[in-house]
Amino acid sequence: MIKIRFSLIFIFLFNLSFSQSVRINEVSASNSIFLDEDGDTPDWIELYNYGSEEISLNNWSLTDVLEDNNPWTFPNITIDADEYLLIWASDKDRSGITYARTLINEGDSFRYEIPNEDTDINWMNTDFDDDEWSIGNSGFGYSDGDDNTYIAAGTLAVYLRKSFTIEDVSEINSLVLDVDYDDGFVAYINGTEVARANINGTPPLYNSTTQIDHEAQMYTGGYPDRFLIENYEDFLVEGENIFSIQVHNISDTSSDMTIIPFLSAIYENETSEGVSPPDILGFQSQSFMHTDFKLSSSGESVYLNDELGNLVDSITFGALPSNISYGVSFENGVYVAYQDPTPGEENESYEYSGVLGVPVTFSHDGGNIASSINLEIFGDGTEDMITYTTDFTEPDENSILYTGPIAIDETTIVRAKAFKENYISLHSNSRNYFFNIDSDHPIIHLVTDEYNLFDHNYGIYSYGPEDYGGYPYFGANFWEDWERPVHISYYVDNTLEFSGNAGIKITGAYSRGWDQKSFALFARGEYGAGEFQYPFF
């Protein structure tokens, strides 16, 4: 039997401050939200200058080893008064000062064409003559209110081209493409494919449709998808380059379409090429610094030293769950937990004393049972209360309060969670109790709130408000790339072999239109564990 357990009541243990007015303001040891310039999601450390004057960080160091003879050092930069500075704790070891510039931006002017069977198949190449094409500003599409250039409803594809200039390719450290799209695209630079999503064909035909429905994100406050362009030095040229992109729709009855590309380069030196990146791309500062160490999600110490090796500040933290940070309280300067991290910015005003990861357990592991039982639920004694539900919903502070054994005399799903005042409560646990249901085969139970599956607007199994009618029901919720939380229980010979929280999506192509649909399951740190520790197959 495999159980994933947590035991995580923790707070910061200490913080040492010396004469300098720079402190370690916030840390995250298990990040899956914020992207670095490579499109990765490393750990991070945030510094803050709470003084009234700028301070040079030249040859200052960060380390997770108290007596470190070779610590990671800062380049020759300063941190202004009341300024926040983000450093990625990625183990990539980058301390040179770099500069992000956006070469292709929202609102830029493009040449564009609605393709047909007569469109030249080499339209994305540098020698193609696009003088007869129309001119419009990005984004392109219809219906979502994010379109600077309106494209007729029902359009299956749009081809776009734009030039940009690079003076010295060797000055570029990395090249990043961010794309907000509905429903799929392929991007090229100088005729070479550099990124694609949600469409087949090399290249896709002018009338190709996408595999599934993919909703644009920016118009609802989300972010574009990021693609790190590999081997850019093989196709970038000094002088004029051509960026081309084709966007495709899921069908000619689709309710919307969007394409908004951003192409950004990270330079070793300051340059006038391109423009400052828009905020939505999340480039946190001009200097993209990466330490030569990562943070341990099980807890450790981080030390900030000045150029002489004197300790300026330090922090020791316990286990940090996914996407929860610790930082200095906005109110009183003590260290607290944050459910909404803010790297490179002022800390959130809503804060917690710590994180509660009590491993709620059950006296009976469920499965097929032949007679009634009295079920007991256990915490570890540090919680204030345990609540539970029997209607598939996720328990919260207002659910049924557990006060003693629960009589189970019929098929019942029990979901339980521990709570402590002013603590972030992590994950619930679930058990399934079935009467007279047996099998010679392994049994998997998936438990989630029916809202996640069948709500008209939110449920991934629902037809939803955008269903166009008729197989394969393009526009229905089950064509969206939506993920919802689920609890998995796996029984072999009526013994619970695996139990854990995960994510669930509808998967497949046109089988999505069938009454019975396929699911894909995802282990992620935000649910409790980043991988499934069991050989299902």
Identify each DSSP E strand in 249-353 by its residue range: 257-267, 300-305, 311-317, 325-328, 335-338
Q: Assign 105 to helix, strand or coil.
A: coil
CB-based contact 419:387 (threshold 8 Å) = yes
Q: Which CA distances in Å does 225 have to 126, 136, 181, 295, 413?
A: 26, 22, 8, 26, 37
Residue 476, Cβ neighbours under 10 Å: how many?
Answer: 22
Domains and CATH numbers, the chain: 14-97+287-353 (2.60.40.1260), 101-268 (2.60.120.260), 357-438 (2.60.40), 440-537 (no CATH)
pLDDT of residue 16: 43
Q: How many CB atoms lie within 10 A of CB 222?
A: 12
DSSP string, 327-351: EE-TTTS-EEEESS--TTSPPPS--
How would DSSP label each residue in 225-254? EEEEETTGGGT--SEEEEEEEEEE-S-TT-
Residue 141: left (phi > 0), alpha (psi -120 to 50), or beta?
left
Residue type, 386: I
Residue-level pLDDT, tens digit, the chain, 537 residues: 233 333 343 444 444 444 579 999 999 999 988 888 887 889 999 999 999 999 999 999 999 999 899 999 999 999 999 999 999 999 999 987 888 999 999 999 999 999 999 999 999 999 999 999 999 999 999 998 999 999 999 999 999 999 999 999 999 989 999 999 999 999 999 999 999 999 999 999 999 999 888 989 999 888 999 999 999 999 999 999 999 999 999 999 888 999 999 999 999 888 999 999 998 987 755 568 999 999 998 899 999 999 999 999 999 998 888 999 999 997 888 999 999 999 989 998 899 999 998 889 999 999 999 999 999 999 999 999 999 999 999 999 999 999 999 999 999 999 999 999 999 998 999 999 999 887 889 999 999 999 999 999 999 999 999 877 788 888 899 988 899 999 999 999 999 999 999 999 999 888 899 999 999 999 988 898 889 999 988
Residue 8 confidence (pLDDT): 40
The reported pTM is 0.74
Q: In whole angstroms, what is the distance from residue 382 CA to residue 304 CA?
A: 33
Evaluate whether 161 touches 133 at the Cβ level (below 8 Å): yes
Q: Quote the CA–CA distance of 189 and 164 in Å, as a whole number.
A: 10
- The C-alpha atoms of residue 339 and residue 223 are separated, in whole angstroms, by 20
Closest CA to 379 of 407, 406, 357: 357
141 strand-pairing partners: 150, 258
Radius of gyration of the chain, Cα coordinates, nearest whole angstrom = 27
Identify the pLDDT of residue 38.
80
Per-residue CA distances from 411 to 208, 361, 438, 460 (Å):
48, 19, 13, 25
Cα–Cα distances in angstroms (integers) from residue 77 to residues 21, 54, 57, 145, in the given order: 16, 10, 6, 41
- Give the chain's length: 537
Residue 53 exposed, middle or buried by CB count within 10 Å (0-12, 13-18, 19+): exposed
Question: Strands 99-104 and 257-267: what pairing?
Answer: antiparallel
Dist. CA 25–CA 86, nearest whole Å: 10
Q: Report the Cα 207 to chain-centroid distance in Å.
A: 32
pLDDT recorded at residue 286: 59
In whole angstroms, what is the distance from residue 253 CA to residue 461 CA?
A: 21
Q: Which is it for the CA torsion 268, 270, 274, 277, positive or negative?
A: positive
Q: Please, what's the largest Cα pairwise distance for the chain?
A: 79
Positive or negative, the CA dihedral 457, 460, 464, 466 is positive
Name residue, tokens 């047909």: 116
Chain-centre distance for alpha carbon 345 = 19
Q: With beta carbons less than 8 A apart as the criterion, state whether 31 and 42 touch.
A: yes
CA–CA separation, 109 vs 234, rounded Å? 26
Which residues are within 8 A (CB) of 76 and not within 5 positions of it... i.e. 6 or more apart?
Answer: 56, 58, 97
